[in-house]
Structure 1
Amino acid sequence: MPRIAIAHDYLTQRGGAERLVLSICRAFPEAEIHTLFYEPDQTYPEYRGHRIRTSVLNRIGPFRRDPRLALPLLAPVASRMRIDADVVIASSSGWAHAFPTRGRRIVYCHSPARWLYLPHDYLGQAGRLDPKRLLLGALTPLLTPWDRRAARQADAYLANSTVVRERIRKVYGFDATTLFPPFSPDIAEGAQEPIPALAGWAGADGTEGGHHLVVSRLQPYKHVDRVIEAFRSLPDQRLLVIGRGPEGERLRALAPPNVMLVEGLNDAQMRWAYGNARALVAASHEDFGLTPLEAGAHGVPTLALRAGGYLDTVLENVNGAFFEEPTAAAIRECVERAAASTWDATAIRAQAETFAEDRFIDGLRSAVAGLGIEPTSEPISGREGGRHG
């Protein structure tokens, strides 16, 4: 019987790509996961129930907690992550598409590597002599041909959005099929749990809703600082920011009293944050961006930058509104405009349902079937690194 395996760059955070891999697991529940790093305490607890194989670098704690520290080593190690399977589904933003296999390979591309093709997004405001910029400058001439060779080895390429499909065409010179990610059923359904850290900020016991919400990794290109600055001039409005990342300390220092930053929430607390929000604010140039769908599943509108993947998921005046540039002034104007609008929660939920998980799973299984191999799964053996689960 044909065997299916799942590959992913690394499981070290709680983001949209990591949630998407859980959806792939639900499509092929017996498939083993292969990844460079796995840090159970930093990603979704559902992974504890899966068989996971990691690279040899996973034994090094600092690398496991922050894979960017291992950047010079990742290409050669990825090239040794051999997977013995008939079909590998690689969820990739730069590494998993290069894991070698004797079988067929489908790449689900979140974006061609940002550090190679969108270095400004990756580096943010790092100075000319910043060590990260110097290191990336030295590695780019080596990593670019390696990355393009790996991309050409795929049997099928799936793009997670219209903008990523165009980026794949520009970077690799071939066409990809668009398969939109689903929103997570774990966020949309189930009990809600208030966030203890909000006591005294969202009412005495922390259960007062009506906040605006940002759910984002705290990276420079996410423009969370611009959203915080917008709410500095809206002192009667509360902004809840959920996420972690290298910008965390700076953003906490920047935040006025009506802005609260939290991290490490469980799914029930995320459901409370979404379900009690007035609106989601999404200010970054996202390749896709699942958060408008997660908010929409709760009937909550999104105020988004008119760019990137938000053009796929946000219908103006149906499930959200747009601002034209990621500036504090533009964000503030959009918040005020949305507050004066009337939103139909039923229509918002209907838009989210067009991205439901069953549609994604059907599309992924169809891609596997298109290879001429019936999609069934059995345990898979690997050779590199350790095994978990």
Structure 2
Amino acid sequence: MTNRPRVAIAHDYLTQRGGAERVVLALSRAFPEAPIYTTIYDPEGTFPDFADREIVTSPLSRIPALRHDHRRALPLLAPVSSRLRVDADVTVASSSGWAHGFATTGRTLVYCHNPARWLYQADEYLGDAGRRSPTRLALGVLTTPLRRWDRRAAARADRYLANSGVVRERVARAYGIEADVVPPPPGLDSSGPQEAHPELAAWADRPFWLVVSRLLPYKNVDVALEAFRGRPGERLVVVGAGPERDRLVAAAPDNVRIVSGVSDAELRWIYAHAGGLVAPSFEDFGLTPLEANAWGVPVVALRAGGYLDTVVEGRSGVFFDEPTPAAVGAALDRAQQHTWSEGALRRHADGFGEVGFAARIRAEVDALLEGRDVSSPGPAAS
């Protein structure tokens, strides 16, 4: 019997439903026999697809409070990650802070969503949290030792990939590592089943604007809410969950709805009824614009971060230059005056397909096993 090389997948924690978790699912489809190693796994908090995979967790996952809020585990994650042993010939580490530090027995390929935001972009990560907030105080004590740990972990990797040009620059600044850019694929299949969302059924009579985002300070969802406060004749739907939810719900005007715990079938229905996507945050990779484009939906996006990789002005969307309600409103006006081609929007999204992504990652794994270099300056082919 042939002994095939063993491939494993690593990810920081599986407690949310976001773009990084969709990338892990894409990696799992590329390597269907690979176990997934993670510090904390919350089946109820993340995508149900993970239930069909072999998930290996750290002892932290036994603590319900940490499964429901992984941020509480911050002081413990570095030592726990260092002790989480991955036994494989190649480990593909999907990382934004911890998985690149797992102890691996073979070669390590890091797919970096962003160097740890709480270490290198703390002000964005914390937002308006006060100087005496528990998270800010904890980071004040832990930042120096965590940066040492983080840089040692990065130096152990055999190969680094970045999900966007801005992340490639951050990897170079944080670690002194040259990383190739391999954009992730849109994680939501537009051809899948749809299910009407019960809270939005009354809004299905005409297209609404849409924000799909975790509800965190740096996501600027409050900016979008304020932009629509001044546009009472239009509607905005926000899909997402996170620590900012209660504050945003309390602040939302009557023409805004915020829904959480949305299934993929419901999200497809929401995209199908959207007239446009608002993307106001500083993203590492602009994933939601590609999801919207796959439905023939144009995008209004902040001219920053990962959106520079995925939004083409006038072809797939329009940009605004600062995250303010006035700038968002002006961009909404420009988008509504533009004539969009649904076919062109869909073709743009197709250029970031999962087939090409999987082929590139498999080629990277094979190269590590064979000692070859497959470095390339551009994105994966579709």
Aligned to 2:379: none
SS of the aligned residue for 1:46 comes to helix
TM-superposition CA deviations, 1:261-314 (whole Å, max 9, x none)? 001111111111111111000000101021001001101011000001001000
Question: Secondary structure, in 3 states, of the residue corresponding to 2:44?
Answer: helix
Which runs of structure 2 are paired with 1:101-250 in the superposition (5 Å)?
A: 101-184=104-187, 186-200=188-202, 202=203, 207-250=204-247
Aligned-pair CA distance for 1:153: 0.3
What residue ranges of structure 1 are gaps of 5+ in the alignment? 375-389
CA distances 1:39-73 after superposition (whole Å, capped 9, x unpaired)? 01111110000000110011100011111001101
Per the alignment, residue 283 of structure 1 pairs with: 280
Distance in 2, Cα, partners of 1:198 & 1:83: 44
**AA of the residue aligned to 1:286:** E
Pick the aligned partner of 2:84 from 81, 85, 110.
81
Displacement of 1:108 in angstroms is: 0.3
Partner SS for 2:340: coil
Alpha-carbon distance in 2 for matches of 1:191, 1:153: 42
Q: Which moved more, 1:125-134 or 1:148-157?
A: 125-134
Report the Cα distance in structure 1 between the residues aligned to 2:149 and 2:369, rounded to whole angstroms.
28
| Counterparts of 1:101 and 1:278, CA distance in 2 | 46
- Look up the match of 1:292: 289
Match of 2:268 in 1: 271
The corresponding residue for 1:48 is 51
CA RMSD of aligned residues (A): 1.0
Q: List, as ranges, runs of 4+ consecutive aligned residues in structure 1 with deviation greater than 3 Å.
A: none
Distance of 1:146 and 1:244 partners within structure 2: 30
Rate the CA distance shift 1:80–1:209 in 2: closer, same or farther, 3 A. farther
Q: CA deviation at 1:372?
A: 3.0
Question: Take 1:70 and 1:17, find their aligned partners in 2: how far apart are those partners?
Answer: 19
Q: Residues 59-74 of structure 1: matches in 2 within 5 Å?
A: 59-74=62-77
Residue 339 of structure 1 corresponds to 336
- 2:276 is paired with a residue whose SS is strand
- C-alpha deviation, 1:187, in angstroms: 3.5
Higher RCO structure, 1 or 2 (CA under 8 Å, sep 6+): 1
| Count of residues in Structure 1 that have an aligned counterpart in Structure 2 | 368
Letter in 2 for 1:33: I
**CA distance in 2 between partners of 1:169 and 1:120 (Å):** 20
Give, as a single letter, the amino acid of the residue that structure 1 aligns with 2:258: L
- Give the match for residue 322 of structure 1: 319
Tell me, what secondary structure is at the counterpart of 2:232?
Answer: coil
Deviation at 1:373, TM superposition (A): 4.5
Output the TM-score relative to the length of structure 1.
Answer: 0.93
State whether structure 2 residue 255 is matched by structure 1 residue 258.
yes
Q: Is the 8 A contact 1:163 1:308 kept in 2?
A: yes
Q: SS of the residue aligned with 1:40?
A: coil
The match for 2:308 among 299, 306, 311 is 311
Distance 1:355 1:191 in 2: 21
Give CA-to-partner distance per residue, 1:148-207, whole Å, 9 cap, x none.
Answer: 0000000000000000000001110120011000002x431122211101244x1xxxx3
Q: Deviations over 1:326-350 (max 9, x none)?
A: 0000001111111111100100111
C-alpha contact 1:16 1:289 (8 A) present in aligned 2 = no
Judge conservation of contact 1:301–1:343 (CA < 8 Å) in 2.
yes
- Partner Cα distance (1:260, 1:208) in 2: 15
Deviation, 1:32, is 0.2
Q: Alignment identity in percent?
A: 57
Give the letter for the 2:329 counterpart: R
Distance in 2 between the 1:39 and 1:187 partners? Answer: 23
Within the alignment, does 1:97 sit opposite 2:100 as a pair?
yes
| Residue in structure 1 matched with residue 20 of structure 2 by the alignment | 17
Q: Secondary structure at the match of 1:79?
A: helix
Opposite residue 318 of structure 2, the aligned amino acid is: A
Matching residue of 2:380: none
State the TM-score, normalized to the length of structure 2. 0.95
- In 2, are the aligned partners of 1:2 and 1:373 still within 8 Å (CA)? no
Distance, in Å, in 2 between the alignment partners of 1:158 and 1:372 is 16
Higher mean alpha-carbon deviation, 353-362 vs 187-196, is at 187-196
Selected match of 1:28 from 28, 31, 46? 31
Cα pair 2:90 2:369 within 8 Å, conserved = no
- Distance in 2, Cα, partners of 1:128 & 1:263: 29
Match of 2:378 in 1: none
Structure 2 CA distance for aligned equivalents of residues 30 and 209 of structure 1: 44
**Which residue identity lines up with residue 192 of structure 1 in the other structure?**
Q
Give, in whole Å, the separation in 1 of the partners of 2:172 and 2:196: 44
3-state SS of paired residue (2:209)? strand
Whether the 8 Å CA contact 2:160–2:177 is kept in 1: the answer is: no
Aligned letter for 2:279?
A: A
In structure 2, give the amino acid aligned to 1:358: V
